[in-house]
Amino acid sequence: MNHLPLIIKREYLTKVRNKSFIVMTILSPIIMIVLFGVVAYLSQLNNDKVRSISILDESGLVQDAFKDSGKIKYQVLDNMSLGAAKLLAKEASSYGLLHIDKAKDLNTLPNHVKFYSEEAPSLTLISEMESTLEKRFTEIKLESNGVDINMINASKTPVNIAQESFEGEKTSKIDSVVKLIFGGAIGYLLFMFIIIYGNMIMRSVIEEKTTRVIEVIISSVKPVQLMLGKIIGTSLAGITQFVIWMCIGGVLMTVVTTTMGIDVSGMQKQQEEIMQQAAENPELHMQVQDFIMAFNHLPIVNLVVAFILFFAAGYLLYSSLYAAIGSAVDNETDTQQFVFPVLMPLILAVYIGLFTVIEDPHGTVSVVFSFIPFTSPVVMLMRIPFGVPLWQQLVSLLLLVGTFMLTVWFAAKIYRVGILMYGKKPSYKELIKWIKY
């Protein structure tokens, strides 16, 4: 008798109808969006503030280098002592006062620059002023050595090495960045999915134990079926939740951005600006083009298929372990010590993905870990954007599925012993005996 569909249906409906599940499904994206809105709104407020900065340049050499930008207005003060300038700046509620001492020697002048302000200035502001000054001082020094600045500017030559594989596939630096983001997102998604829904499966197993319904169920259903039903039902509920989150998130995002005036138009303007600048600036233009190309270079079909397969198999592998843990313990507080060792390989996989794969996607470490079943879902998915031979993907997937089936089978044995055990842990010797059944 195959009861799997029946069990899946029950698990799914129980999860989906659960009040806390419904509340979380609706509330989570709202909370996220509200947080996002608040942060965006506040940072916009911050950005919109125009800061005025007073400059007292007693050397008279660099004050012309400071040009007003959208957010900073420079005010050049003349003919006054430092004390008076400080007072004036304070009264005019300037953000701060940049003081450049009299020039005695061009070499020591950079050591006589100071910034006075009420509060500690922002890092970006300081580095902006520093780079302006550096550029200006360098120019002055070059000029004093009789070098023509215009000639230097004219002879600047940007270089961007075009990359191409022997098969004729073009790549670029930005390719790697896009791939990194892609792989990172997938790894993180799998990680979150396993933690959230793995825990849900574990709780559901523990619930069956504590309500003592398990012996009734187990007299009609094979434990493997019950466990698989639980895993699949909970996963489907998880997918439902994810899809709803995406939908609500998408709708709310549009609503929030339009109503709260966090201007999409501004962002569009920025984009237009970038495009415009790109048109004027050949270097930027190239980068933008590279970015678009990088996306086109991703092996999309391969990625999507591999994503579905590896994600599903990887998730099922871990969730069967969660189910086994749930059956071996009596209550949720006892689970922690078992959960950590299970999550270790997953955390390891994410680190390997983020550090080793990006550095050397086809190196020994990357290749080995993309075959080991417990790390392969994350590592292989991160490698695929860089191009992985089909045979490697297939072998890795086969290993993963094989291990998954083995784990489910093994977990079911623990499950079968565990669910009827209250207050004691099963011995390995006994497990082996149960496995024969």
Partner 1 sequence: MSNLLEVNKVSKKFGDFRALNSVSVAVPKGSIFGLLGPNGAGKTTLIRIINQITMPDTGTVRLDGELLNNGHIKDIGYLPEERGLYKSMKVGEQALYLAQLKGLSKAEAKARLKYWFERLDIGDWWHKKIQELSKGMAQKIQFVVTVLHQPKLLIFDEPFSGFDPINANLIKDEILRLRDDGATVIFSTHRMESVEELCDDIALINKSNKILEGKLVDIKRQYKINTFEVGIKTADKLGLEQEMSQKFDISPANFKTLDDELKLNIKISEAETPNELLSYLTSRGDVSHFVELIPSVNDIFIQTVTNN
**Angle at CA 420, nearest 5°, toward 416 and 422?**
135
Task: Work out whether 220 is an interface residue with partner 1 (CB under 8 A).
Answer: yes
Q: Kindly tell me which of 67 and 436 has the beta carbon lying closer to partner 1.
A: 436
Calpha distance 321→85 (Å, rounded): 70
Task: Work out whether 430 is an interface residue with partner 1 (CB under 8 A).
Answer: yes
Calpha distance 245→238 (Å, rounded): 10
Task: Work out whether 221 is an interface residue with partner 1 (CB under 8 A).
Answer: yes
What is Dmax (Cα atoms) for the chain? 97
Question: Between 173-210 and 223-259, two packed helices, what is the crossing angle to 10 degrees?
Answer: 130
Neighbours of 177 (CB within 10 A): 14
Total H helices, total E strands in the chain: 17, 6
Task: Work out whether 23 is an interface residue with partner 1 (CB under 8 A).
Answer: no
Tell me the residue type at 246.
Answer: M
Q: Which stretch binds partner 1 (CB under 8 A): 6-14, 57-65, 77-85, 403-411?
A: 6-14
Q: Which stretch binds partner 1 (CB under 8 A): 7-15, 177-185, 230-238, 330-338?
A: 7-15
Answer for which of 1, 161, 301, 390 binds partner 1 (CB under 8 A) is 1
Answer for which of 64, 130, 215, 283 binds partner 1 (CB under 8 A) is 215
CB 356, min distance to partner 1, A: 45
CB 415, min distance to partner 1, A: 12
Answer for which of 30, 50, 192, 216 binds partner 1 (CB under 8 A) is 216
Q: Kindly tell me which of 207 and 330 has the beta carbon lying closer to partner 1.
A: 207
Task: Work out whether 97 is an interface residue with partner 1 (CB under 8 A).
Answer: no
Answer for which of 3, 51, 71, 170 binds partner 1 (CB under 8 A) is 3
Q: Which stretch binds partner 1 (CB under 8 A): 188-196, 280-288, 361-369, 425-433?
A: 425-433
Task: Work out whether 237 is an interface residue with partner 1 (CB under 8 A).
Answer: no
Answer for which of 180, 218, 253, 278 binds partner 1 (CB under 8 A) is 218
Looking only at the bridges linking them, the beta strands covering 96-100 and 113-117 are antiparallel
Q: Kindly tell me which of 8 and 62 has the beta carbon lying closer to partner 1.
A: 8
User: Is-contact 351 230, C-beta < 8 A?
Assistant: no
CB 217, min distance to partner 1, A: 7
Q: Which stretch binds partner 1 (CB under 8 A): 4-12, 47-55, 305-313, 359-367?
A: 4-12
**Backbone φ, ψ for residue 114 (5° rounding):** -140, 150
Task: Work out whether 236 is an interface residue with partner 1 (CB under 8 A).
Answer: no
Calpha distance 373→377 (Å, rounded): 7
Alpha helices in 329-356 (DSSP H): 336-351
Q: Kindly tell me which of 6 and 27 has the beta carbon lying closer to partner 1.
A: 6
**Backbone φ, ψ for residue 327 (5° rounding):** -75, -25
Q: Kindly tell me which of 189 and 431 has the beta carbon lying closer to partner 1.
A: 431
Task: Work out whether 212 is an interface residue with partner 1 (CB under 8 A).
Answer: yes
Residues that bind partner 1 (CB under 8 A): 1, 3, 6-7, 10, 14, 18, 207-208, 211-213, 215-222, 420, 427, 429-430, 433-434, 436-437
